[in-house]
Chains A and B, each alone.
Chain A
Amino acid sequence: MSIEFRMPALGADMEAGTLLEWKVSPGDRVGRGDVVAVIDTDKGAIDVEIFSDGTVERLLVEPGTRVPVGAPLALLVGEPDAAVAEAVAQPPRTTTSASTAPSASIPLATMPGRAPRVRISPAARALAERLAIDAASLTGSGPHGAVSLVDVEAAARATPKAVSRRDTAPMRAVIAAAMARSKREIPHYYVTTTCDYTPVLDWVAIRNAGVPVEQRVLPVVPLLRAVVLAATQIPGFNGHCVDGRFDASQAVHLGVAVALRGGGLVTPAILDAGDKDVACLMRALSDLVGRARAGGLRASELASGTITVTSLGDEGVESVQPIIYPPQVAIVGAGAVVERPWLVAGEVRPRRLLTLTLAADHRVSDGRAGARFLARVADLLARPEAL
């Protein structure tokens, strides 16, 4: 059985992407979820996973090629049932499994004194040196498989350094298209509430005091957890609305707006956030933010968010009225935590307050449901220990 691996849509408005690098070669066995290619989109270099098990038969597209969404990139031979079982029994191909492979399978190239000289054209070698690229690690497309100038140039485009220097104009255009579409098509309504965030901050402070630095959580994480729980409990806010039809999602893939250092932002999702407790969410968040800024987001993380949280608290503003990221139907915006006089049991007390705003799609839900959603979030935040 032959399977086509096609250029995925890494966002609602993506029309084409540039293949930067293959992570697999013909003959490699791949399993669902394995990263097989790096695709350059207007949002940056994205690791793309495959969703079929099989063996790579042929790569159809050379690195550096711009390919429309849906066009075949590679052909796979599907696994017969027995082979699938075997594949499940074996861990997916990873770098660690390669290093623990029996010595009989160590490729000749790694044996001292036996390394065949890598074919690199003089011009490619000089360019690679200038750009500090390890030309020996590249796959050659020149005569006799030699690494040539085009291979080095493609590698230069694929390196994080190139990503950090990337032109932000295309990303601006993507944000513009998505936000314009959102405002054009989605009838937003907004509900806002100010909640007492003091219990959360106290709980976080106590929790963090007892654990090593790497296990501490940021004050925003309980908010993420509360939104995830509310999204599973109150219907109408978690899913996609396509062509006016709402598709509720069982899983919560929580989009997080991440500002990039070079300008622009991306909203990758923490996949299956419903299954993650606060500690787990914290690890997922720091991993996601790190990869969003360094390059290396996965395709599934970019396209599959079902609801999003954006926080502008670090900029000091008290509230934000966010714009829904299509085709999602809801987004929660959080301002800064501010200390204000607040009535607690009839007495004025200094409390640390957080203003939350829900923007939701009126085609899918009504203001009353939105109010219930936001009240549930505030309610959950009042008892952080239960999160």
Chain B
Amino acid sequence: MSAAVVPGTGRMTYREAVREALRQALRSDPHVFLMGEDVGAYGGCFAVSKGLLAEFGEERVRDTPLSESAFVGAGIGAALGGVKPIVEIMTGNFSLLALDQIVNNAATLCHMSGGQCPVPVVIRLATGAGRQLAAQHSHSFEGWYAHVPGVRIVVPATIDDARGMLGAALACPDPVLIFEPISLYNLEGELTAQADACDLDHAAVRRAGSDVTLIAHGASLYRALEAAGTLAERNVSAEVIDLRTLRPLDDATILASVRRTHRALIVDEGWRSGGIAAEIAMRIVEQGFYELDAPIGRVCTAEVPMPYPRHLEEAALPSATRIVAAVMSQLGR
């Protein structure tokens, strides 16, 4: 990729970074098009695609009927037909209506055809809580999707990744699901040249530390970083890993960190039971049992449908306070 892929760096929101990524993809490849509910005239329900209809026209920014199964299926068909669709699903909750298309078609066709029918579709989904959208719009299902072979699951948490992961997803021959945390759309930050070098394979160490490894993704990354700051005041040095990709999981980065710190705590906005946190913990046990100096910890969302009231929503979600308390108990303090 040339430097021109990221036109300029500077301060922007996560939403603008995704929009820039879409714009760049639409500009640089005539086979790319965007489709989904309200992505055109309305500008996207989180205003991500605002202005793109005017710039690229109805052929390439397509409003779809209110039927996830139909338009995700159409996207899969388009990908099979040789173009590069970007399908937007308003929230992870609504993607359950397209579960059959994603799990039974997108994930399988390449494998069932002996590699003859790859499905290079990119599906963007808003995920998670934090905006008082209640139980039917706030859940985190990226961990569920990470159970399924044949798809790639990525969760950009930074401005650079919001800007850079879409290009990498379009270049990937597998179906890629990009989960964009709802609570991060207003996050502001610097876009750097790093966005150019985005991959879909590696976790990133966002803060180095020596006493415990905090493993997070998406919006949880910022809770982990906040907790790491508090822990530092208590002379506890926490390393923070941003998973970036939930399938495939970057075991090497996780284990390398745990071998340094000998303690691991997973922060996940999904529910605890059967969640991605359990999968990560088990991989650490399988590959690093003798490195562990304390039981692996998890801080997850309370096992309730996400409440609507602000204070209950906050109470249900992982918090820096709960992360700090969990780490202190791992240290025996």
Contacts and interface: CB of A to CB of B under 8 A. Distances in A.
A312 interface: no
Contacts of B290: 122-123, 125-126
A121 B294 contact: yes
Interface string B268-293: 00000000000000000000011111
Contacts of B329: 143
Contacts of B295: 143
A378 to B, nearest CB: 63
Nearest to B258: A123
Contacts of B294: 121, 142-143, 146, 148
A141 B332 contact: yes
A143 B331 contact: yes
B139 interface: no
Interface of A: 121-126, 140-146, 148-149
A203 B294 CA distance: 65
A141 B330 CA distance: 11
Contacts of A140: 332
Interface pairs A-B: 5 shortest CB-CB: A123-B293, A142-B332, A121-B293, A143-B332, A126-B290
A148 B329 CA distance: 13
B293 A124 contact: yes
B37 to A, nearest CB: 48
Given A123-B291, A141-B332, A143-B331, 16 more contacts: A121-B262, A121-B292, A121-B293, A122-B293, A123-B292, A123-B293, A124-B293, A125-B290, A140-B332, A142-B332, A143-B329, A144-B332, A145-B332, A146-B332, A148-B294, A149-B262
B245 to A, nearest CB: 28
Main secondary structure of the interface of B (DSSP, over half): loop
B282 to A, nearest CB: 15
B295 to A, nearest CB: 7
Nearest to A149: B293
23 contacts: A121-B262, A121-B292, A122-B289, A122-B291, A122-B292, A123-B262, A123-B290, A123-B291, A123-B292, A124-B293, A125-B290, A140-B332, A142-B293, A143-B294, A143-B295, A143-B329, A143-B330, A144-B332, A146-B332, A148-B293, A148-B294, A149-B262, A149-B293
Interface in B280-333: 289-295, 329-332
A23 to B, nearest CB: 22
Contacts of A146: 294, 332
Contacts of A122: 289-293
A264 to B, nearest CB: 34
Interface in B238-263: 262
Interface of B: 262, 289-295, 329-332
A241 to B, nearest CB: 44
B198 to A, nearest CB: 34
B132 to A, nearest CB: 36
Nearest to B285: A122
Contacts of A145: 332
Given A123-B262, A143-B295, A148 B332 contact: yes
Identify which of A122, A124, A140, A146 gathers the most chain B CB atoms within 10 Å of its CB: A122
B144 to A, nearest CB: 30
A227 to B, nearest CB: 52
Nearest to A144: B332
A144 B332 CA distance: 7
A67 B294 CA distance: 27
Contacts of A126: 290
A143 B265 CA distance: 14
Contacts of A148: 293-294, 332
A366 B167 CA distance: 94
Identify which of A121, A123, A124, A140 gathers the most chain B CB atoms within 10 Å of its CB: A123
A144 B291 CA distance: 18
A144 B293 CA distance: 12
A24 B126 CA distance: 59
B54 to A, nearest CB: 58
B265 to A, nearest CB: 12
A144 B329 CA distance: 9
Contacts of B332: 140-146, 148
A145 B331 CA distance: 10
Contacts of B330: 143
Contacts of B289: 122
Identify which of B291, B329, B332 gathers the most chain A CB atoms within 10 Å of its CB: B332
